[in-house]
Structure 1
Amino acid sequence: MDDMSKLAPQSGSLLISEPFLQDENFVRSVVLLCENNEMGSFGLVLNKLSIFKLEELLEGHEFLDKEVYVGGPVEQNTLHFIYHGEQQLEDSVALGEKLWWGGDFKELIGKHKLGLVDISDFRFFLGYSGWEKGQLKDELLENTWIVCDNSHAKNIFTVAPDDLWRIILKNMGGDFQVLANYPIDPRLN
């Protein structure tokens, strides 16, 4: 494999599931790593749409006609968000150039109502993906994930969710282009 897959993941890195991963929560997943430290790791699956719209989840917010993604299998009763562009919320955490995680949701709603933020720049998630201390490192040693720097993060907001896994691998070049075309079930070829 290319040296890119051997990168130590850090906040803002993308974790691309290897094509043989059969865990139903992470098959063909692209995870944005929001936090990775000695205590554990936190990320959001970028390419798994939920059946909900944001307006259905938040009473009194019918004006938020925005799809919601499944961020992962942990605490699916929590809402998280990322956005791109310039920093729009005071408490947002930078995950790379023009990529932000979280912030004060009330500030987001207030600014949206005033027309100061474009809600299309935001992506919302139910739940998250979490790893205990050392768990992600072990999974990386088992080649469960391909680590990609966030130079491919621009694709998060422009590529259809069903295509994101494949497109990022293709854009990584080299051996990853071959993996991008690997069938979900090779027995069917």
Structure 2
Amino acid sequence: MVETSLRDAGEPGFLDGQFLIAMPGLQDGNFVRSVIYICAHSPAGAMGFIINRAQPVSFVDLLLHLDLMEGRDIPGLPETIRRFPVLMGGPVETGRGFVLHSDDYESESSIPVNDDISLTATLDIVRAITEGRGPKRATMLLGYAGWGPGQLEAELSNNGWLNCPATEALIFDTALDTKYDRALALLGVTPEALSTDVGHA
């Protein structure tokens, strides 16, 4: 479903390649203080990934769960592989893994999101990362965020989100705790200024 929506989205929507930054008044617990990278936006809806929410499952946990590695092999893994980031991408299909990555890696299942970033949702990229053949920059996400036709536009008109062009550096940055504030800074806004503006015309 996700791959189909990305491949068949047709003309890109105005939110393609944008960050959504949650406003303080957004009450949905899935999205409080979230920064979302929108991968596809069209009249059919939108989908993207939360890029600033930690996931309790580690990359090593996933390797063991997927039978891609045995426990006795874990100590020999490079630290960069053991600490490979796994984020909570969103509330939809939370048991499914996706990898956002730089375009220096490509497989038959890789889908370009823009000129520099691709999305791969198959095991081949997980094996490549484990074997040191993966992309230069990548983040794994479990689940995604999705909106039906017109839903996201309505949330924007109700001041649920701010949006701005995404930056690759922030997408792959592993300092999650400050990512929300730094995304706001792209717009020249601080969380304190947003809080004082809530409720004012």
TM-score normalised per structure 2:
0.73
* Alignment-derived partner of residue 164 in structure 1: 179
**Equivalent of residue 111 in structure 1, options 128, 132, 136:** 128
Q: Counterpart of 1:135 in structure 2: which amino acid?
A: Q
Q: 1: distance between equivalents of 2:107 and 2:49? A: 19
Q: 1: distance between equivalents of 2:105 and 2:126? A: 15
RMSD: 2.6
Query: Structure 1 residues 154-163 or 123-132, which shifts more?
Result: 154-163
Deviations 1:47-76 (A, max 9, x none): 001101122133323465333211111121
Q: 2: distance between equivalents of 1:24 and 1:113? A: 33
- Give the ranges of 4+ consecutive aligned residues of structure 1 lying more than 4 Å apart after TM superposition: 180-183
Q: 1: distance between equivalents of 2:48 and 2:192? A: 22
| Structure 2 CA distance for partners of 1:27 and 1:45, relative to 1, 3 Å | same
* Alignment-derived partner of residue 143 in structure 2: 127
| Structure 2 CA distance for partners of 1:53 and 1:30, relative to 1, 3 Å | same
How many residues get paired? Answer: 172
| Structure with greater strand percent | 1
Contact 1:55 1:61 in 2 (8 A): no
| Structure 2 CA distance for partners of 1:180 and 1:29, relative to 1, 3 Å | farther
Which structure 2 segments of 5+ residues have no match?
1-12, 75-80
Query: Structure 1 residues 106-115 or 18-27, which shifts more?
Result: 106-115
Give the share of equivalent positions with the same residue, in percent.
27
SS in 2 for 1:35: strand
* Alignment-derived partner of residue 40 in structure 1: 45
TM-score normalised per structure 1:
0.77
Q: 2: distance between equivalents of 1:180 and 1:116? A: 43
Deviations 1:140-181 (A, max 9, x none): 11111111112x3321223511111101111322xxx23366
Cα offset, 1:90, TM superposition: 4.2
Q: Counterpart of 2:48 in structure 1: which amino acid?
A: G
